[in-house]
Amino acid sequence: MPRVPERWSCAGLGLVLCRAPGLWGWTPGGDRQTAVEVAFAAAFPAEDPKTFLAAMIPRRARALATSMTYMARHRVGRDSNSIGPLPLPVPDDTPCVITYLHYAIDPVVQLALLEDNTHRRFRWVVYPPPPIRPLRWEDERNLYLAGGTIPLTVADTFLFVTKQNWLLEARRHLDDGGDVLLALDSPINARRPAGAQLQIGEASMPVSPAIDVLARNARLLFVWPEPRPDHTWTLHCEEFPDTTAVAAAASRWIHSYRDYWAAWSGVTSRVKATSMRGEGE
* The pLDDT of residue 280: 37
Rounded distance between C-alpha atoms, residue 268 and residue 45, angstroms: 14
pLDDT tens, residue by residue, 143-167: 555 556 778 889 899 999 888 889 9
Rounded distance between C-alpha atoms, residue 61 and residue 43, angstroms: 23
pLDDT tens, residue by residue, 204-213: 999 988 898 8
Is-contact 180 97, C-beta < 8 A?
yes
Rounded distance between C-alpha atoms, residue 26 and residue 11, angstroms: 19
Neighbour tally for 4: CB within 10 Å: 10
CA proximity to 53, closest of 81, 34, 76: 34
Rounded distance between C-alpha atoms, residue 239 and residue 49, angstroms: 34
Q: What does pTM read for this prediction?
A: 0.89
Mind giving me the DSSP string for 72-120?
HHHHTT---SSB-----SS-TTS-EEEEE--BTTTTHHHHHHHHTTTTS
